[in-house]
Amino acid sequence: MSVTPELPAELSRRTVLRRAAAAGLLATPAVGLLSGCVGGGDDEPVEQAAGEKSATNPLGVKEDAPLEVVIFNGGLGTKYATDVHIPSYKKAFPKAEVKHSATEEVGTVLQPRFTSNTPPDMVNNAGSKLLDQGALVQAGQVQDLTDLLDAPSLNDPSKKVRDLLVPGTVEQGTFNGKPFVLNYAFTVFGLWYDAALFEKNGWAAPKTWADFTALCDKIKAAGITPYSYAGANAAYYQYLVLLTSAAKIGGPDVLKNIDNLEDGAWQAEPVKQAAAAWAEIGAKYGNKAHLGLKHTEVQLQQNQGKVAFYPSGSWLENEQAKDTPPGFKYAVTPVPSVTASDALPQTAIYAAAGEMYFVPAKGKNPRGGMEYLRHMLSKAGAKGFTELTKVLTVVQGAVDGLDISPGLTSGNAMLGAAGKDYFSYRFDTWYKKLDDEARAATNELMFSGGSAQKFCDRMQKAADAVKKDSSIEKFKR
């Protein structure tokens, strides 16, 4: 089926995913970052490659300068880098050696290199063990991307790179007024299921909470776990849908207040209502054995017909491609409305530009790193990415007329139905300690009989601690 995705016209309320919820540089290294062990103003300057600027080389890349890129090997794989973006860069700079490496633990692998001021030139910062992006920005380790955004695009030199992006993209990678991060993958989040299984059983995706629990009862009676996620490393999937419910109950300012560390933000009534509703789902319809499983293990169980609903982002279909049996048909539905008086409609969703890419400021070839991002942001680069990952990008019109998969088709339809009613949060990227605590508190709520009040108390205590910690730079939106 040929589909022309209709990207939203306005994204002012959408912020970074997380597809990524920030984990990365563990607490101790993060402290090192802030105390200067990753290099501050007194460090010896790094010799960086530079060439002549021209119409075809607007960033002044040195044509034979080596370029090193590190890609997270997760749900999106790495073929989009090896088969699309690196060849595009090499075509423009054939004398340049491009070194590519992939890892499932970005923070573990790269933290020592940032500490020693020997980082690569471009980093895809994602996964459950990613770098603490906020701490890196605070430590001066991230390149300001203004020059990239103001450079002419590869497709149309009369237009700047920023002019081809979905509105709101630049803001999502902005920290206190400066753009440091490119959030490249446009991701929609919701409850994923097998449409073929649902059609076979006559089940319909629920719209209200009463519909949701009634359907979960039917699914449970059929011998299938109605709802689950992996506690070992994917708890952010669950706190994402919990906070989606909170935003739908009380409006997107609920999440804005959390991001801005407003007093009592985690104690707000919509958060408590959402936590209580999801605690019931965990207690009645989850599987406690999944607390110790990884995301791919629970996702495999869904492919095997053992789990009905699974919370995730639109990378899921690609991540499970090799394990998805014939006849399995990925589909996604918005989180059901918790109350009849929710501030946002049932069709409202969490949707965001996520999957962070950044250029280290102390790398040997930051101009090349930005140029690499410019190739990613070409229509050819974006189209190739979507073809290989089944995930949209922030480049407008890049997949017009492209044949897309069932899951991407479903996600695109969900996005269209949402209209302007989508939102996200940024605290997970800004404050790693809050992300860590949210994961732990969510697992307690969903697997260990925790209460909504205990969840809110625990998160408020963690937020208050971050707010009072003068060593942590604060960000606002």
Average of per-residue pLDDT across 350-366: 94
Average of per-residue pLDDT across 145-162: 96
pLDDT over threshold 70, residue 1? no
pLDDT over threshold 70, residue 437? yes
Residues 327 and 397 in one domain: no
Task: Kindly tell me the burial class for residue 188, based on how many C-beta atoms sit within 10 Å of its own C-beta (0-12, 13-18, 19 or more).
Answer: buried
Quickly state the pLDDT bin for 344 (edges 50, 70, 90).
very high
Residues 255 and 344 in one domain: yes
**What was the pLDDT predicted at 229?**
98
For residue 430, is it within any domain?
A: no
Quickly state the pLDDT bin for 43 (edges 50, 70, 90).
low
CATH, residue 61:
3.40.190.10
Tokens of 150: 């103001």
For residue 417, is it within any domain?
A: no
3-class secondary structure, 107: helix
Looking at every residue in the chain, the average pLDDT score rounds to: 90
For residue 470, is it within any domain?
A: no
The per-residue pLDDT for range 28-38, each reduced to its tens digit, is: 333 333 333 34
Of residues 468 and 315, the one with the higher pLDDT is 468
Q: What is the Cα–Cα distance from 249 to 235, expressed in whole angstroms? A: 21
For residues 117 and 43, the answer to whether their CB atoms sit within 8 Å is: yes
For residues 50 and 366, the answer to whether their CB atoms sit within 8 Å is: no
Q: What is the Cα–Cα distance from 438 to 423, expressed in whole angstroms? A: 18
Q: How many domains does the chain have?
A: 2
Tokens of 107: 């923070």
DSSP 42-101: TSPPPP-------SS-TT---TT--EEEEEE-STT-SHHIIIIIHHHHHHH-TT--EEEE
Residues 276 and 375 in one domain: no
Q: Are strands 392-393 and 178-179 parallel, antiparallel or unpaired?
A: unpaired
For residue 458, is it within any domain?
A: yes
The per-residue pLDDT for range 247-272, each reduced to its tens digit, is: 999 999 999 999 999 999 999 999 99
50 CB neighbour count, 10 Å cutoff: 15
Task: Give just the sign of the alpha carbon dihedral 241, 243, 249, 255.
Answer: negative
Quickly state the pLDDT bin for 6 (edges 50, 70, 90).
very low
The per-residue pLDDT for range 66-112, each reduced to its tens digit, is: 999 999 998 889 999 999 999 999 999 999 999 999 999 999 999 99
Residues 371 and 320 in one domain: no
Tokens of 295: 């995301």
Tokens of 289: 């054995």
**What was the pLDDT predicted at 269?**
98
Give 3-state DSSP helix, strand, coil % of the chain, rounded to 5: 45, 15, 40
Residues 303 and 324 in one domain: yes
For residues 430 and 134, the answer to whether their CB atoms sit within 8 Å is: yes
Q: What is the Cα–Cα distance from 51 to 54, expressed in whole angstroms? A: 9
pLDDT over threshold 70, residue 15? no
**What was the pLDDT predicted at 462?**
98
Tokens of 75: 């749900």
Residues 318 and 229 in one domain: yes
Average of per-residue pLDDT across 407-429: 91
pLDDT over threshold 80, residue 222? yes
Average of per-residue pLDDT across 366-389: 96
Residues 344 and 224 in one domain: yes
Task: Kindly tell me the burial class for residue 2, based on how many C-beta atoms sit within 10 Å of its own C-beta (0-12, 13-18, 19 or more).
Answer: exposed
The residue among 366, 388, 406 that closes a domain is 406
**What was the pLDDT predicted at 450?**
95
Residues 331 and 193 in one domain: yes
Task: Give just the sign of the alpha carbon dihedral 13, 15, 21, 26.
Answer: negative
**What was the pLDDT predicted at 8?**
35
Nearest to 184 by CA among 6, 420, 32, 384: 384
Q: What is the Cα–Cα distance from 410 to 246, expressed in whole angstroms? A: 24
Quickly state the pLDDT bin for 44 (edges 50, 70, 90).
low
CA separation, residue 407 to residues 72, 171, 260, 387, 390 (Å) = 22, 28, 34, 13, 8
Quickly state the pLDDT bin for 12 (edges 50, 70, 90).
very low
Quickly state the pLDDT bin for 399 (edges 50, 70, 90).
confident
Q: What is the Cα–Cα distance from 345 to 331, expressed in whole angstroms? A: 20
For residue 475, is it within any domain?
A: no
For residue 471, is it within any domain?
A: no
pLDDT over threshold 50, residue 5? no
For residue 73, is it within any domain?
A: yes
The per-residue pLDDT for range 114-148, each reduced to its tens digit, is: 999 999 999 999 988 899 999 999 999 999 999 99
Q: What is the DSSP letter of 137?
A: H
Helices (runs of H) and strands (runs of E) counted in the chain: 20, 12
Average of per-residue pLDDT across 415-424: 91
* CA 292 to centroid of chain Cα atoms: 23
Q: What is the Cα–Cα distance from 280 to 48, expressed in whole angstroms? A: 55
CA separation, residue 304 to residues 160, 194, 325, 464 (Å) = 47, 10, 8, 43
Range of the domain at 207: 188-351+435-463
Residues 387 and 450 in one domain: no
Residues 274 and 318 in one domain: yes
Q: What is the Cα–Cα distance from 355 to 387, expressed in whole angstroms? A: 17
Q: Are strands 122-125 and 178-179 parallel, antiparallel or unpaired?
A: unpaired
For residues 325 and 342, the answer to whether their CB atoms sit within 8 Å is: no
Residues 126 and 231 in one domain: no
For residue 39, is it within any domain?
A: yes
* CA 28 to centroid of chain Cα atoms: 24
Q: What percent of the chain has pLDDT over 70?
A: 91
Residues 194 and 284 in one domain: yes
Q: What is the Cα–Cα distance from 440 to 385, expressed in whole angstroms? A: 33
